[in-house]
Amino acid sequence: MKIFSKTELALWAASVAAILASLAVFGGGGVLTALASVIGVTSLMLNAKANPAGQALMVVFSLLYGYISYGSRYYGEMMTYLGMTAPMAAAALVSWLRHPSSRGRSETAVGEVGGREAAFMLLLTAAVTALFGYVLALLGTRYLPVSTLSVATSFAAVYLTARRSPFFALVYAMNDVVLIVLWSLAAMDERSCVSVVVCFAAFLCGDVYGFLNWRRIKKRQSEEAA
């Protein structure tokens, strides 16, 4: 069965090409960063199709990105991806597999997050962010305000992912913007970090596409269920 459309394949190829080109020009982590970037882009494209395999790849990406962040002393990113994103991506994988659409396990059913749950999510996000922010301050994390904001957007995104809400991709896009700022600051001191900026710019394009595609999937699933 064909998984990606020509447009999606073109978006994936352009993202990978941009990332690999930036690594060739600016350096930055070598094979490990290249591998993590390609896995991340592929994960986003599968997530955009509501395919649970995207969450499995997100677990792998989180482990690699956490290690890369540790090397740059971005302890907030390390803690967020190793202690939060990776395990919640695993939980999301289980949730997506347990709620297949009428097309089978290759596509999860789109879920809903009501007003009360959204309010609970915001309170929980605030609590998690406060806790992580305190720990990050103790660790002497670089660019603490930006790192703390990354924790907030990351947690909200992974929560919505586990709940199969189309808005997970939109919040991830917000997180991508935060990370572009974070690694741009690092690039002022270390030229090789430019490649990570390009990586998250590619992720931003993928997440925006994912949000738009999930809205289409939701409409189609509703029509099929009618």
Report if residue 107 sits inside a domain: no
Report if residue 189 sits inside a domain: yes
**Distance from the Cα of residue 109 to its chain's centroid:** 19
Residue whose C-alpha is closest to residue 18's, from 26, 30, 29: 26
Report if residue 105 sits inside a domain: no
Report if residue 106 sits inside a domain: no
pLDDT in tens, the chain (226 residues): 468 889 999 999 999 999 889 888 877 666 787 888 899 999 999 999 999 999 999 999 989 888 877 877 777 678 778 888 889 889 999 999 999 998 888 999 999 999 999 999 999 999 999 998 888 888 777 788 998 998 899 899 989 999 999 999 999 999 999 999 988 988 888 887 788 888 889 999 999 999 999 999 999 999 888 6
Report if residue 206 sits inside a domain: yes
Report if residue 55 sits inside a domain: yes
Q: Where are the beta strands (DSSP E) in the chain?
A: 100-101, 104-108
Range of the domain at 15: 6-100+114-225
Report if residue 1 sits inside a domain: no
Total domain count for the chain? Answer: 1
